[in-house]
């Protein structure tokens, strides 16, 4: 849907390109220059590692229970075997549920990313919108999205201007390494 909308905007933009102004930004570059974004990414990575270790520890515990069960199996009655198997299966399901809760589509990691990163992305979007309105730009493309730019002239790159308007220093001017993109 996003590509269809983008194609429609592009087609419309091409028809009136002579009358409209356009620019592009590199949102990945912009985000990489924002210290809060880097801190949020570091925090998300640490949480992810911690949760992964927690899950691995639970799987290790289940593995130990299974090994102990296999070692004791000859000594156990059928009722005891069923009880131990049920215990192992219950723990396995609990770990799978925890893994889904932590790393699933709308899991804890997704929610944490939304909590920490989305406000920064919204701030960038608002700065892009402000620049477009102040500079009377009809279209601003994001060079780092799925849209392919076969050629991009650095004079239309407004990434540093976005950062400046947001109050961030770039340290150095952002220059396109290659104007020809694959």
pTM flag (> 0.85): no
Separation of alpha carbons 92 and 89, rounded Å: 5
Q: What is the pLDDT of residues 12-59, one digit of tens each?
A: 555 444 456 888 899 999 999 999 999 999 999 999 999 999 999 999
Closest CA to 88 of 114, 111, 65, 55: 65
**According to DSSP H, which parts of the chain are helical?**
2-15, 27-32, 35-72, 78-103, 108-134, 159-166
Q: What is the pLDDT of residues 46-101, one digit of tens each?
A: 999 999 999 999 999 999 999 999 999 999 999 999 999 999 999 999 999 999 99
| Helices 35-72 and 78-103, packing angle to 10 deg | 170
């Amino acid at each position: 849907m996003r590509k269809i909308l983008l194609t429609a905007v592009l087609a419309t933009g091409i028809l009136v390109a002579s009358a409209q102004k356009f620019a592009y930004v590199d949102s990945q570059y912009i985000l990489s220059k924002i210290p809060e974004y880097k801190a949020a990414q570091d925090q998300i990575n640490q949480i992810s590692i911690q949760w992964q270790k927690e899950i691995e520890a639970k799987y290790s515990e289940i593995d130990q229970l299974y090994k102990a069960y296999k070692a004791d199996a000859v000594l156990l009655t059928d009722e005891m075997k069923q009880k131990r198997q049920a215990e192992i299966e219950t723990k396995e399901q609990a770990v799978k549920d925890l893994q889904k809760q932590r790393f699933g589509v709308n899991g804890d990691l997704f929610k944490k990313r939304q909590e920490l990163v989305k406000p920064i992305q919204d701030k960038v979007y608002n700065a892009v919108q402000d620049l477009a309105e102040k500079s009377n730009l009809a279209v601003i493309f994001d060079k780092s999205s799925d849209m392919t730019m076969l050629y991009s002239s650095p004079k239309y790159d407004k990434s540093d201007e976005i950062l400046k308007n947001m109050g961030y220093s770039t340290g150095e001017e952002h220059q396109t390494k290659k104007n020809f993109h694959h």
